Amino acid sequence: MNSQPKLHILFTSEEIEAKVKTLAGEIRRDYQDKHPLLIGVLKGSFMFMADLIRLLDFPLEVEFIRLSSYGSGRESSGKVRVVQGLRSLIKGRDILVIEDIVDTGRTTGFLLDYLRKKMPASVKLCALTDKPSRRQTPVTIDYLGFTLPNKFIVGYGLDWDEKFRYLPDIRVIEEEG
């Protein structure tokens, strides 16, 4: 069956902009003298990362990592691996991971463990969205944007089968039955 998804706006682009500004303020306060390495988790975090970083007017470096956890479905496989790794040295650095969403926590939990083994000075997590009701692996989010209900969201970098990443707002996807 080829059902058409229905989308409802959950957070408007203005709400997202305000939230990103708030997060940038908190991050500036904590990192302005630390020359941190910000690691964006591809692909979902690219839009958030771009908006956040241009509000951080202090020395920092940018990296990206790509992990696989989701296939084409909506459920995390539970098995996470690094698809595209880091070129920057992690040892001794202050690391801030930038995530689009923490759902079961498996992907982020794996990544934080992976980074901690590389002996950074510190590792913290900034996540635009959080679905705490879905958590399987405990994850501490140091800088959080929005708490979500147990719904599948798209837009602002987040996809459904590679679709809808371009949307400037965050929408809830619901399939018509």
The catalytic residue positions are 103
> Residue 134, SS3?
helix
Q: Does 159 bind ligand 5GP (CB under 6 A)?
A: yes
Find tokens 């708030």 and name the residue.
22
Contact code string over 22-51 relative to ligand 5GP, x by CB under 6 A: ----------------------x-------
Residues listed for the chain? 177
Question: In angstroms, what is the minimal distance from the CB of 93 to Mg ion?
Answer: 21
**Listed residue (41, 98, 88) closest to 69, CA to CA:** 41
Contact code string over 107-136 relative to ligand 5GP, x by CB under 6 A: xx----------------------------
- The answer to whether the bond into 34 is cis (omega within 30° of 0) is no
Between CA 115 and CA 39 the distance in angstroms is 10
What six digits make up the tokens of 32?
A: 């302005």
Which entry of Mg ion, ligand 5GP, none binds 159, CB below 5 to 8 A by partner kind? ligand 5GP
Which entry of Mg ion, ligand 5GP, none binds 63, CB below 5 to 8 A by partner kind? none
Do residues 63 and 38 lie in contact, with contact meaning Cβ atoms separated by under 8 Å? yes
Question: In angstroms, what is the minimal distance from the CB of 53 to ligand 5GP?
Answer: 19
Question: In angstroms, what is the minimal distance from the CB of 78 to ligand 5GP?
Answer: 8
- The answer to whether the bond into 21 is cis (omega within 30° of 0) is no
Which entry of ligand 5GP, Mg ion, none binds 125, CB below 5 to 8 A by partner kind? none
> What single-letter amino acid sits at 175?
E
Q: Does 103 bind ligand 5GP (CB under 6 A)?
A: yes
What six digits make up the tokens of 109?
A: 């939990």
Q: Does 70 bind ligand 5GP (CB under 6 A)?
A: yes
Which entry of ligand 5GP, Mg ion, none binds 105, CB below 5 to 8 A by partner kind? ligand 5GP
Between CA 120 and CA 85 the distance in angstroms is 16
> Which residues of the chain form contacts with ligand 5GP (CB under 6 A)?
44, 69-70, 76, 100-108, 152-154, 158-160
